[in-house]
Every structure is written in C-alpha cells, then in structure tokens.
Structure 1
C-alpha cells in the first residue's frame, strides 16, 4: 500500500514532509526552551533522508546535527549553517553547502546506500546501480540523476526586518494588518538583524536588569536556553543567518499535481521569512501548488523595508507566484520574547479576498494529507 504523503508542522518554521517515499525536514527547531510546547521528541526520530535549513538562526538550525547523526540524513544549507554543523561533528559526507540557484536530485535511502557501497578496483568503479559520471575524481559516488524520486530547487531569499522602533518598541502581538512606512536610515536592512542577534539576543543577561529577569519566567527560560550554545553548548546556531534560502520541493514523476519536467505548476515552496527578491519569485518555474510562508516581522522586499503591511506583502508575493492553490503560514506561533505571537487574521483575510489562494491552518503535530 502506498504511503500517504503528508506535511506536519512543529512550530516556528519546522516541518516534516513525507513525499515520494522520502522524509524531509525543513528546519529542525524541535528541542526548544522548556516553557514552549514540544511537539516531537528529537531523540525519537529514526527516519530522515534530507534536512533543508532556511538559515542559521536560533529558531531554525538547532537540532539538525542531532537528526543527521541519528539518521544519516543529508543536510542542505548555506555555508554559515554548514560550518556550524561541521563544528558540531556532522560528517562532511552529509553536508551539502548551497547559496541559491542549485537544483538537487533527491534519492531514497536504498539508492543512496547502494551508491555509497560502490567499490573501486584498478581504476574502475563497480556498483549495483547507475552512478553519476563526470564528477570530481575523489568525490564520493553519487546515484545517477535518473534514479531520483524528487528534486529540490534552492533560491536566494531574504530575512524579514524589525518594525520601526527596534527591539524596545516591539508589541506583544504582531498584527499582520498594521502598515509600516519609510525607513529610519537609508541603510535599514538585514545587517540590523545580525547586530540585533549578536549584541541583543545573545547578550540578554547583560542587558535585562536582574530583577526583571527574575520576575519573567518566559524570558529567563529563553535566556538560559540561548546561552547553551557554541562549542560547549547543546544548541547550534549563529548570529548571522548566512543568507536566507527558499526550497521548492518537487516530485520527479508527476509532482504534487504534475510537477515533473515541463509542468506549469507543482510542488511545495518553503519560504521561512517575510522577505523575497521580486525577480526571483517571479522566475520560479514550475510555480508551486502550495507555499509555506513565514508571516512575522516587517516585510523585506529586494533588501529594502516594504512599505505596507505583512498582509499586503504576502498577497503580492502569492500573486507573483500566480496564486497557488494553498498557503500555510509559519513563524507565527508562541514565543517567549516579544512579539509573543503573530495575529495572522489580516493576512488570511487579504489573501483570500484578493487572490485565488486558500489559507490552510495546520494543527501542530497533526499530519496534513497532501492531495
């Protein structure tokens, strides 16, 4: 009996996709601060083929090394994330650095193992399966691309920006209907996000008065968790995102709705943050049937703050994608620091009133069947 193809949501931007006989994780933030809900025990994961990492921040990258070591999964990520994972002991044979623009064939576990078992004798390679030809002489053997059951197209994307006013002015609930205009300086951009991580989130214990930290259980829990990082800690992360990536996952034989070669539409596009390059989004082909879209923060269009609301940006992005059938919001759930959550009502209402796209609300930990 053929296994159902499903998508599961585990908070923030962490998803598990089962498709074409593969198990694929998008981001891996499962071992979260103790006061946040835990939807899946990372130590019980025994099955994963690929791990797609959107970027190297604290709520996206941690856990990738645990899953990879337990399952042998290949991690596809930017170089910042790859370097942090290598430092954490993930073998180089499981690390695939990308920067956007790549198309990568995806193989079942049996095919990958068969390629890895290829023997070399007298300058000749023997294998039970066809292998890729013409690669680097000393590279590990790879299956021939015709054996792939799916593929992933990687595209450069952008991290969202903070609303005007910076960290100190963040609301408790971020409303996707609120419109933001203008810039504080002509240079507002993701460099501010990196500085905020390095000199803000990573140094909260220095910045928050001791009495305030003692009185706020959630904040204290978050500070203790984020301090448990680096070579001596349990959580792998970086203050620098390393370059945001989008992942478009397509089945090789038919796609989610005919997403194979030459198809006009098919597959699932993961965009973890509210940012994008307009030209890149418009060039994606085939266009996805389903988009998983981060909905937090101020939108980042082409590296500049977007004038308007998160709702307006999301609707425009979906129009650039020719209005896919479905969109699923992410990065909108509970957090221990401001904003504590994102109100997606305005974004959902605008998308459904101005496009053909329907919003699908996932229940964390419950498989959503892909039709």
Structure 2
C-alpha cells in the first residue's frame, strides 16, 4: 500500500476552472467534475486539455455545451473512465472513446473508484488467463475490474433536474441575474419552463449555427465568439439535449466508512425526496446557483436564494457550500450575482459559503 492509499479523505483538494468544472484530488485519484476547460474566446480558459497529465475518472453532470466538451479528448489522453448519463455516453462513443472507458448511469448507482494500477492489474490478469488457456467464469463477458475490496472511495449517483428559465422573453435576458429576484407563475403559458431549454438550444442555437455567414455579421458581438465554438463539433462534443441531470455524492472512504462526503450538484433543480432522504448527508456541497429553481420538475415560485436554502435544509445543512455556474458566460446572462443567496444561506442555515478563486488549490474539507 502506497502513501496515496494511506492518506485521508479529509486531505482532498479541489480546483475550479469555471462554470461547473472542477478537479478533485483524493487519496491518489484525480477526478474531473465536468470538463468544460477550453471555452469560447470571449471568456477565460484556465486549463487546456493538452496540459492535463493525469486523470482517473470523469464525472459529467449532463450533455450540454458548457459541461461535456473536452471529456472525449481528456479520456483518450489519460485513459480515464467517463461516468455520465446515456446521452453524454452516446456522444462520447461516437467521438471514439473506447467502450471500456464508458460507464452510463441514470441515478441510483453506487460506484467504487480504483487506482489505475488496480484497473491495469485486472486487465493484465484477464490477458494472462487468456494466454494460459484458462476458461473465463460462466456468465456474460464483462470488462475486467478489480475486486471491490480494492476500492479507494465510493460515489453515489442521484437523479436531479436542470434549472428552468425565468418566465418572459428569454431573448431579453439581463447581463446579470440576481439570486434575490423572485419568480412566480408561468407568464401566462402553462407549458413554459418545461421543455424551453431543449427547444431553445435545438432551434435557437441550432438555427443560428445554420445561418449564412453574411447574416451572422449582424448578430451581437458575443455570438461572433460563441458560434464558432458551437460549430466546431469535432473538437467540442456536446448535445442540445441534456440527457437527464445527475448529481454525485463522493464518499471519501469506502462504503460504511466514517470519512467526509462531498456532493457535486451542477444545476439548480432537484427532487425534494431525493435531497431529504439522501444518505450519507454531505459535509460539503458544490451547488449551481444559476437560473430559476426546478422543484420536482415544476418551476419554483421564489428566488434562487430561497431555493438554495431549501436544498441545503433538506441536505441537513452541510457545513460548507461552494457556488458554481455563476461566473463568466459567453452569452447573456453573463454572470450571476450570488450575494442574496449567500446572505440568505448565512441567515437561515448553519451552512457557510466558501468563495473559490479560479485555478487555486483548496482543501475542500477545511
């Protein structure tokens, strides 16, 4: 057993690269949470895929353009296993990621994570047995994996929701959205805030991407950087359909251990029952704070700040909260003003908000 195996889960570090993309390092494992590293030219890129030397696992919240791109190149470069919903896995498969590096999930799964040396040893044993003529065990021919006793940490997968759009004309979204703004009702359309996200991406962004070049020159300046990025589908793999939002609870000790727990939740939407009944409760929560709350598949009447407080209360008021998806965006809304959310969390819960700077390494449980 090496020093990485003996290290504590409490020593886990995290780095933020914008939006919902983080790099988590724990007990010798390097894990990416979303992979939107290389971004449109009008917002910062803090880390390029080609500069990443190590990655064991990639967890994807959903398949949209600001979450999934880069996962295929990162997986091919490092041999990392991608854990994602079926839509994202389909996109990754089409991009040429080997099947043995793809793990589709939909919520409810418990996943053991292993050091790469253990995964390589399991593959080598399979190859050795085949060379020696040892017959495989009866049953389906599954990819070789280490014995569960070799797991380093566990991850619990839970279903969630994408945030909803505020009611009204979405073409006139403000530059900055305030988390204290209260939204109610449906703006007179009972079907609003349901399939808006997918339709707007498919026909809005998709339609713009098909426009003749002479028409694009008349679009706002931000789109001059955004659309070339969206059109480069060979480099930037994504889907207009999110495929089903997922959140991941990282248990920094193996199942049954008493280590700390980190919940990564990449959008402002959830099932109330899942949040209330989730075990173990997280010590730290990374939570998206953009958009209108999506509660049980319906638009939340209230502010993003109020919705965040409810989620934290259902989770048992984790001691630390880290906002995400509130920084630079290539198109409107350009950013999210989190002050109202932070103030209400501090007023109504025992949780405390930790503001992260991009790229800086933090001990997440300190």
Normalising by the residue count of structure 1, what TM-score does the alignment of the two structures yield? 0.90
2:203 alignment counterpart = 199
CA contact (8 A) 2:95 2:237 kept: yes
1:117 alignment partner, SS class: helix
Between the two proteins, the alignment pairs up a number of residues equal to: 353
CA contact (8 A) 1:49 1:109 kept: yes
2:227 alignment counterpart = 223
1:200 alignment partner, SS class: helix
The change in CA–CA distance for 1:215 and 1:277 in structure 2 (over 3 A counts) is closer
Partners of 1:199 and 1:252 lie apart in 2 by 45
2:96 alignment partner, SS class: coil
The 5 Å alignment of 1:262-341 reads: 263=258, 266-341=260-335
Out of 25, 43, 47, the position equivalent to 1:40 is 47
1:261 alignment counterpart = 256
The 5 Å alignment of 1:132-171 reads: 136-171=139-174
2:201 alignment partner, SS class: helix
1:50 alignment counterpart = 57
The 5 Å alignment of 1:179-258 reads: 179-184=182-187, 185-205=189-209, 213-214=217-218, 216-229=220-233, 233-252=234-253
Normalising by the residue count of structure 2, what TM-score does the alignment of the two structures yield? 0.91
**What residue ranges of structure 2 are gaps of 5+ in the alignment?**
none
**Runs ≥4 in structure 1, deviation > 4 angstroms?**
1-4, 205-215
1:129 alignment counterpart = none
CA contact (8 A) 2:186 2:193 kept: no
Per-residue CA deviation, residues 16-56 of structure 1 (Å, 9 max, x unaligned), is 00012110000000111122111112111110000000000
Per-residue CA deviation, residues 104-138 of structure 1 (Å, 9 max, x unaligned), is 0000111111111113244446xxxxxxx88x531
2:119 alignment counterpart = 112
Q: How far has the Cα of 1:190 moved from its partner?
A: 4.1
Partners of 2:213 and 2:343 lie apart in 1 by 40
Out of 325, 333, 354, the position equivalent to 1:360 is 354
Q: Does 1:5 align with 2:8?
A: no
1:346 alignment counterpart = 340
Partners of 2:253 and 2:333 lie apart in 1 by 40
Partners of 2:20 and 2:39 lie apart in 1 by 13
CA contact (8 A) 1:159 1:190 kept: no
Per-residue CA deviation, residues 74-94 of structure 1 (Å, 9 max, x unaligned), is 000001000000000100000
1:364 alignment partner, SS class: coil
CA contact (8 A) 2:183 2:302 kept: yes
CA contact (8 A) 1:5 1:19 kept: yes
The change in CA–CA distance for 1:359 and 1:88 in structure 2 (over 3 A counts) is same
Partners of 1:269 and 1:46 lie apart in 2 by 25
1:311 alignment partner, SS class: helix
Partners of 2:61 and 2:200 lie apart in 1 by 19
Per-residue CA deviation, residues 330-359 of structure 1 (Å, 9 max, x unaligned), is 000111211011000000000011100000
Per-residue CA deviation, residues 281-301 of structure 1 (Å, 9 max, x unaligned), is 111100001111111000100
Out of 11, 22, 36, the position equivalent to 2:29 is 22
- RMSD of aligned C-alpha atoms? 2.1
Partners of 1:152 and 1:114 lie apart in 2 by 22
CA contact (8 A) 2:284 2:319 kept: yes
1:128 alignment counterpart = none
1:60 alignment counterpart = 67
Q: How far has the Cα of 1:362 moved from its partner?
A: 0.5
